[in-house]
Structure 1
Amino acid sequence: MPPRHVAEDSATDLTAETEGTGDLTEESDDQVDTTVADVSQEKHVVTSVDALKAQGIPAGDIQKLQEGKIYTIEELRMTTRKQLNNIRGLSETKVDKILAAADKIGQSYIQDGLQALEDRKNILKITTGSTELDALLQGGIESKCITEVFGEFRCGKTQLCHTLAVTAQLPRSKKGGGGRVLFIDTEKTFLPEKIKQIAQRFGLDPGKVLESITVARIFNYEQQMSCLAAVSDKLAEHKYSLVIIDSITALFRTDFKGRGELAERQQNLGQHLATLSKVAHAHNLAVFITNQVMAQVDGAAMFTADPKKPIGGHILAHASTTRLYFRKGRGETRVAKVFSSPYLPEAEATFAIAAEGIIDATE
């Protein structure tokens, strides 16, 4: 049973979106229908918590889960008992019954290596717009993980965000994700005009592309942390292939001052990143975040050619699956380096910034 649509409450005032309908399918070599709903070649399926009815869970308890922003079995399995007990109207006994019922639905989280290999076939690889940068990433930005890019001002981070917001809507046959995009804008960087230019480059209808981007304009860290819950009904109802946050640390740095609040800042940042990771796995979507840099002032700085390091400390370092470092080259050329990754070798690639987004470097 597909997840049912849930009326938005006041929390979704964070978002600005016009819904589109239909499938993102390839109509011809020159034209792509970019209205996103369900893509036939996608195996990603979420199971509504309504499926708990067949396991004997009362409709009232299912409604309480939805009021607690839990709409799918996948999300339910990733929620702790403590979090479920905090939902009004759910006792410990009810929570135990709900979790036991959820274990009988869908795929088990315990599997053998062959099953894990089969699951890898469903991983999305979203093109960056540059063949050399795609090659560095072995295909593009990957789903079910967090990809972080950090670097100085005007090194191409936001340009890549806008390019991915378009390419994520391409079908998988064209190196896309075949789904909608959630763009969490913490630095007021989202430009619809830029999206239109990039969409035209890929032969897409700019209006349909913009319809399929949910934009959340965020002004403090609390809004940022609650944003995913605010749009959880959209994530359950529609196929999303990408969540973008530009940038992940800006508001945390602004709202927490000095060393006295550092521990609290890192704790909240860690919780936010854990939520992002759960969403990525539950919905088979990619999470792409940008980050700022700071000067490295310790003793190792004198032995480093480019003594800059990303903000966020060990919390962000461990949460990000792949970290990319962008730096400026000549003119509009930029250099991307794999800073850390469990499967990508340390290497570099060049790309360029243009009006139509990220492109291959010509120099």
Structure 2
Amino acid sequence: MEVMRLAISATQRGKLIAAGYTSLSSLSSVSPPLLAQDLNIAEAEAVEILKIASQSGRVDNAGGNQVFLIGAQSAWQMLHEDSNIKITTFSADIDNILGGGISCKEVTEIGGIPGIGKTQFGIQLAINVQIPVDFGGLGRKAVYVDTEGSFMVERALQMAEGCIENIENGDYARPRNTRAFKEKLHPEDFLANIFHFRICSYTEQIAMINHLDKWVTEHKDVKLVVIDSITFYFRQDFEDMALRTRLLGEMALKLMKLAQKFNLAVVVLNQATTKCTEGSFQLTLALGDSWSHASTNRIILYWKGDERCAYVDKSPSLPSASAPYSITSKGIRDSSKNYKRTKMM
């Protein structure tokens, strides 16, 4: 049971979430004085909140408290279960180093400096997850959590048109009645299948991620969640780094569980920063070393001369490798000299 469901006031729930207490487990070891301090409330009120949380999380039965373990599966099942479900990036070179594309049931982090194309990747994947099954796609929908206001519906329309063009050019498997099926593909339908959520604070971001489980349960045709970016509200106005680490850790855990439970792909976009190592500054992704373990796969986008490249920095199943790519008027594509450092919308 989550904090949002506790029988306390909306104000108290809001204060708990803002302070990083988003689950019952996060309240299980905190003392009333510390909770009162974190929430800026009276200690008596903190005692009452902890009492309600304890009662809500208690499992009573004649034999005492018990813990039940469910959901076990064999390694053989894990190997063969949905192992080929991928979302293409529309760059054959990048798909190749990713083993076919962005994997479902995993959290993939894509990071890099401004202007390298992170949002372009997010929008492209939100379009590509909708490629019909008859053409080799998943035929599903996407959730786009926008913290920076960088989602551009005009750009999404361009990419949808480019996606349909790719399909019409015969780049994918064809159904029997190809002509009739193509007539059903319209750019506006691709836009209608992207659920956009504009987030304006870190508390809204936490609440949104907490709500995703219920939301996806009600929209079972969603196969992709993009968070653009996971970083924005956690790089400013955060003096308490321990609180920030706890909040990020809980968000990462929820996103991993979401990907596993619904067999969908979670893609989090991250910003780049500089890190001083042995007297020299190096470019690295934001949110520190603790966050670097929050994703299953980590892809770093960077410039190599005048060419954009994607590098698999971390993955349990993929070797480290890099591949060039381009951002064209139609979206993400294989590298081409005609599309280097072109400024998009």
TM-score (norm 2): 0.71
Give the Cα–Cα distance (whole angstroms) in 2 for the partners of residues 241 and 125 of structure 1: 10
Give the Cα–Cα distance (whole angstroms) in 1 for the partners of residues 61 and 53 of structure 2: 10
Give the Cα–Cα distance (whole angstroms) in 2 for the partners of residues 82 and 264 of structure 1: 12
Q: Out of 163, 166, 175, which is 2:127 matched to?
A: 166
Shift of 1:176: 3.4
TM-score (norm 1): 0.68
Partner of 2:324: 350
Q: Is the 8 A contact 2:235 2:287 kept in 1?
A: no
Partner of 1:275: 254
Q: Is the 8 A contact 1:132 1:350 kept in 2?
A: yes
Shift of 1:131: 0.6
Give the Cα–Cα distance (whole angstroms) in 2 for the partners of residues 201 and 170 of structure 1: 12
Give the Cα–Cα distance (whole angstroms) in 1 for the partners of residues 55 and 316 of structure 2: 42
Partner of 1:151: 112
- Give the fraction of aligned pairs with identical amino acids, expressed as a percent: 32
1:251 aligned onto 2:233: yes
Give the Cα–Cα distance (whole angstroms) in 2 for the partners of residues 124 and 100 of structure 1: 37
Secondary structure of 1:315's aligned partner: helix
Give the Cα–Cα distance (whole angstroms) in 2 for the partners of residues 96 and 273 of structure 1: 36
Q: Is the 8 A contact 1:146 1:320 kept in 2?
A: yes
Secondary structure of 1:266's aligned partner: helix
1:340 aligned onto 2:314: yes
Q: Is the 8 A contact 1:221 1:255 kept in 2?
A: no
Q: Is the 8 A contact 1:125 1:175 kept in 2?
A: no
Shift of 1:191: 0.8
Aligned 1:93-104 pairs, distance under 5 A: 93=59
Shift of 1:87: 7.1
Partner of 2:58: 92
Give the Cα–Cα distance (whole angstroms) in 1 for the partners of residues 304 and 75 of structure 2: 43
Partner of 2:299: 324
Secondary structure of 1:346's aligned partner: coil
Tell me the matched-pair count: 274
Q: Is the 8 A contact 2:112 2:270 kept in 1?
A: yes
Aligned 1:191-270 pairs, distance under 5 A: 191-203=152-164, 204-238=185-219, 239-257=221-239, 261-270=240-249
Shift of 1:147: 0.7
Q: Is the 8 A contact 2:210 2:254 kept in 1?
A: no
Supply the AA of the counterpart residue of 2:317. Answer: Y
Shift of 1:296: 2.3
Secondary structure of 2:326's aligned partner: strand
Secondary structure of 1:268's aligned partner: helix
Partner of 1:119: 81
1:299 aligned onto 2:278: yes
When residues 173 and 222 of structure 1 are mapped into structure 2, their CA distance, relative to the original with a 3 A threshold, is same
Aligned 1:37-52 pairs, distance under 5 A: none
Q: Out of 53, 72, 97, which is 1:110 matched to?
A: 72
Shift of 1:278: 0.9
Supply the AA of the counterpart residue of 1:166. Answer: I
Give the Cα–Cα distance (whole angstroms) in 2 for the partners of residues 191 and 129 of structure 1: 19
When residues 142 and 300 of structure 1 are mapped into structure 2, their CA distance, relative to the original with a 3 A threshold, is farther
Q: Is the 8 A contact 2:24 2:53 kept in 1?
A: no
Give the Cα–Cα distance (whole angstroms) in 2 for the partners of residues 213 and 96 of structure 1: 49
1:308 aligned onto 2:264: no
- Cα deviation code 1:260-307 (max 9, x no counterpart): x111111111111111111111111101111111112221737xxxx2
Secondary structure of 2:150's aligned partner: coil
When residues 95 and 161 of structure 1 are mapped into structure 2, their CA distance, relative to the original with a 3 A threshold, is farther
Larger-Rg structure: 2
- Cα deviation code 1:10-39 (max 9, x no counterpart): x9xxxxxxxxxxxxxxxxxxxxxxxxxxxx
Supply the AA of the counterpart residue of 1:342. Answer: P
Shift of 1:254: 1.7
Secondary structure of 1:129's aligned partner: coil
- Cα deviation code 1:19-78 (max 9, x no counterpart): xxxxxxxxxxxxxxxxxxxxxxxxxxxxxxxxxxxxxxxxxx9xx9xxxxxxxxxxxxxx
RMSD across aligned positions (CA): 3.1
Give the Cα–Cα distance (whole angstroms) in 2 for the partners of residues 247 and 234 of structure 1: 20
